[in-house]
Amino acid sequence: MTRGIVVQPDKCGLKCPVQEKYIRCGQYHCPVNCDMSMWSGWSACTAECEGGLQSHTRNIMAKPKNGGTQCNTVEESRPCNTMSCDRNCRLQSWTSWSPCSVACRTGNHVGFQERERHVLIPTRGEGKCPDDHSLYRYGRQTCNTHKCKGDEICIARQDLVVGLDASGSLMEGGFKIIKSFATTLLAKYQMTYYDQPAMRIGVMLFGNGVLLDDDKTVAPARNLQALTDSMTLVNTAVEGAEYKRGFTNMAQAFSMAEDMFIKKGRKDAQASVLLITDGKPSFAWMTNEMVEQLDDKGIMRYFICVNSQGENSEAMIQMKNWASQPWETNFLHIQGTLLLEADAELWAQTALTMFCPNAYSPSDGWQIEESYGYAHVKDGGWCGDKFDSNLLSKDVINAEACAALAGGGGYESFILGAYFRRGWCYGGSMKVDETQYHTWQGNKINPECKKSTDNEVTEDGWKSSMLYDFYAMEPVGTDTIVTTR
């Protein structure tokens, strides 16, 4: 407290008293409010269905003092999973269509494709789920219904392991016939087509009868050639295969094939194993186990069985079960080595059309080219300059329709979209004369791209893109009449 002097004292007056004074105040403790942490996450529900509880908590960081704000609750709960305990299954989207089971129609056998919907969330309680082969979960359609021409070649993007049976039941003469047949069959497979990678082939030998050092364990199958795109290496491996006089041990064959796929297989290629055997299998239980392993990994299993056994014999029934299902399109029975040797070319053609998911008939392709006036040259790229300004359509249904638009627009080549550009059609900038057209017609494996100018022809190279395939229009004035529709 303070006060001022109103009248100053004189010589005789009293001295002014104290002008300021202190007194005590605020003589009590300050309040401390409660301090709490953030909430924890919600706990798991106490029940899967029909109602449960879940909670979260928080801690007291500082307790209140001296009249500060009190703490709130340290735990909260809420209801959860209040739905009924009965739950129907939930299905995933449809898978892509599988490759066609055969390349073309042979007799009454036509190809088919399958697709499925797998269970994403299973049923619960009294919930329901469609059967595996109901229309809600399984789809099937026919494909490659055209009749085989007889000159088909395989241009599929496929990793194929060919297993040669060298067991004693085959006899050495029969083994030589099987080797010769394998060479005839593999000659119909193309490692490259339309300038794109196609087949990769590996070769292994099973039926080994040699015992390992413990004198108990049979030696495994032999990897004669890892998966490769060199047909020279494949033929060398087949020719060098030796007769082993062992057991018809298909389990070791499937085990070796699985190992070969792991080491050299392509993720975007269909994995398949083809056994050429006399069909007298040993170690059935072990083979069943290996078949299940391959089936779980989506590896196709083909059989060419060369023997005179009846269709309903135990061994034949076993191998039909081991083949990918339905066995009718993945199992070929030839009545003995003599019949195989008599017409190896016929049996090779039959096997290829059954086992190759993408076969091509050169004679059929030539006929189409001659009829409609265009040639399929390359997949995954084009020859010439940019073509973005030459868009003809975004919804053509096939190359034939795009060829008609290109011909009407005066273009000598055209580019057809694939994948995300399917249905798009562009007029090409590449000029195509008669010589170039027939050169491309005669070379479907590794066609060359040369850029033509007014004065010279120079090496230009392909422009790569997985979204476009390249076609050439037949020059007007050649012997063939160009027709489009």
At 83-122, the pLDDT tens digits run: 888 888 999 999 888 777 777 776 666 778 889 999 998 8
Q: What is the pLDDT of residues 445-481, one digit of tens each?
A: 889 887 654 444 445 688 888 899 999 999 876 554 3
Secondary structure E strands in 340-409: 359-360, 374-382, 391-393
Classify residue 142 by its DSSP letter.
E
d(CA 347, CA 372): 33
So what's the pLDDT on residue 303? 94
| Residue 163: φ, ψ to 5° | -105, 125
So what's the pLDDT on residue 148? 80
Q: What is the pLDDT of residues 407-450, one digit of tens each?
A: 999 999 999 998 888 999 999 988 888 888 989 988 888 898 87
So what's the pLDDT on residue 476? 78
List the one residue out of 353, 308, 315, 368 whose CA is nearest residue 335. 308
Q: If DSSP states are collapsed to H, E and C, what string results for 306-332?
A: EECCCCCCHHHHHHHHHCCCCHHHCEE
DSSP 3-state of 118: coil
DSSP 3-state of 372: helix
Q: Name residues whose C-beta falls within 8 Å of residue 121's C-beta, 6 or more positions apart in sequence.
A: 87, 89, 90
d(CA 236, CA 202): 11
Q: Average pLDDT of 220-232?
A: 91
Helix-, strand-, coil-residue percentages of the chain, each rounded to 5? 25, 30, 45
Stretch among 62-76, 152-166, 365-379 having the lowest mean pLDDT: 365-379
Q: Count of CB atoms within 10 A of residue 23's CB?
A: 5
Question: How much is the mean pLDDT over the chain?
Answer: 87
d(CA 123, CA 109): 38
Tell me the pairing of strands 192-193 and 153-154.
unpaired
d(CA 355, CA 218): 31
Q: Average pLDDT of 66-89?
A: 90
Q: Concatenate the DSSP letters of all residues of 418-465 into one string.
A: -GGGTT-EEE------HHHHHHHHH-SSS---EEE-SS-EEE--PEEE
- What is 86-148's CATH topology? TSP-1 type 1 repeat (2.20.100)
CA 468 to chain CA mean position, Å: 20
Say if CB 266 and CB 159 are below 8 A apart.
Answer: yes
Whether omega for the bond prior to residue 326 falls within 30 degrees of 0, making it cis, is yes
What would the CATH number be for the domain defined by 159-354?
3.40.50.410
463/214: higher pLDDT: 463
Q: What is the pLDDT of residues 12-56, one digit of tens each?
A: 888 888 899 998 888 888 899 999 999 999 999 998 888 899 999
Tokens 């529709």 locate to: 485
Q: At what angle do helices 231-239 and 171-186 cross, to 10 degrees?
A: 170
212/345: higher pLDDT: 345
d(CA 427, CA 416): 9
Q: What is the CA radius of gyration of the chain?
A: 39
Say if CB 220 and CB 256 are below 8 A apart.
Answer: yes
The long-range contacts involving 285-289, CB below 8 angstroms and separated by at least 24 positions, are 286/251, 287/250, 287/251, 287/254, 287/318, 287/322, 288/322, 289/251
So what's the pLDDT on residue 485? 30
So what's the pLDDT on residue 13? 83
What superfamily in CATH does domain 35-78 come from?
Answer: Thrombospondin type-1 (TSP1) repeat (2.20.100.10)
Structure tokens at 395: 């919804």
